[in-house]
Chain A
Amino acid sequence: DAKTTQPNSMESNEEEPVHLPCNHSTISGTDYIHWYRQLPSQGPEYVIHGLTSNVNNRMASLAIAEDRKSSTLILHRATLRDAAVYYCILRDTGRDDKIIFGKGTRLHILP
């Protein structure tokens, strides 16, 4: 299975943009890049996903490198409620649907 690499933790100031990186150098052509986040003592929630083009939604933006070997989740204006663990995962719906979550990046927001 294709794997992702993320920093263990990051810090950001409130109301500033946050860029969360993810490396996936072994990504295949049919892998989608997904981001989820998990607030303390809760289940993860979907944030965004993309294949090749950059994507925007109400929660965040996803910037995908041209070679697709890395991506960046962008929170445009961090709030204290954005403090969570962010997971970057790869999914290929053409194969067996075995979705794997790594350790993710713990994002700390400083007031």
Chain B
Amino acid sequence: DGGITQSPKYLFRKEGQNVTLSCEQNLNHDAMYWYRQDPGQGLRLIYYSQIVNDFQKGDIAEGYSVSREKKESFPLTVTSAQKNPTAFYLCASRDFWSLEQYFGPGTRLTVT
């Protein structure tokens, strides 16, 4: 089945460590996105990429980094510079010609 996968579903890390969240899609979508969601809040855009080897910062990019070396993959690294990394992270993708965004199941990151 086509879709977006994020792994793992739950991730625990110690403060000061970098951590990379995986996002893979087999929908052949051009654009991919990373959002962060805190409890009771909406989604905030971290980074997005409209094409391979290109990406743009969203509203809260500080402390995060991404790469887009392949069309189907858009990993997000949460660096030690991110002050409050504990959150629910959502990846999404969209076909260039479609207005509909598809979301993955999310990764809940806890940093202690």
Q: Which residues of A contact B (CB under 8 A)?
A: 32, 34, 36, 41-46, 49, 87, 91, 93, 96-104
Contact = CB atoms under 8 A, between A and B. Distances in A.
A34 B99 contact: yes
B99 to A, nearest CB: 6
B1 interface: no
Given A97-B48, A98-B58, A42 B105 contact: yes
Contact of B42 (A46, A93, A96, A103): A103
Contacts of A87: 42-43
Given A97-B50, A102-B42, A46 B56 contact: no
Contacts of A34: 99
B106 interface: yes
B50 A49 contact: no
24 contacts: A32-B99, A34-B99, A36-B101, A41-B106, A42-B105, A42-B106, A43-B90, A43-B105, A43-B106, A44-B103, A46-B102, A87-B42, A91-B99, A97-B31, A97-B94, A98-B56, A99-B45, A99-B48, A101-B42, A101-B43, A101-B44, A101-B45, A102-B42, A103-B40
Contacts of B56: 96, 98
A104 B105 contact: no
User: Number of contact residues on B: which range applies?
Assistant: 20 to 34
Interface string B74-89: 0000000000000010
Given A42-B105, A87-B42, A99-B101, 4 more contacts: A44-B92, A44-B101, A49-B99, A99-B33
B105 A44 contact: no
B54 to A, nearest CB: 12
Nearest to A101: B43
Interface string B31-55: 1010100001111110010100000
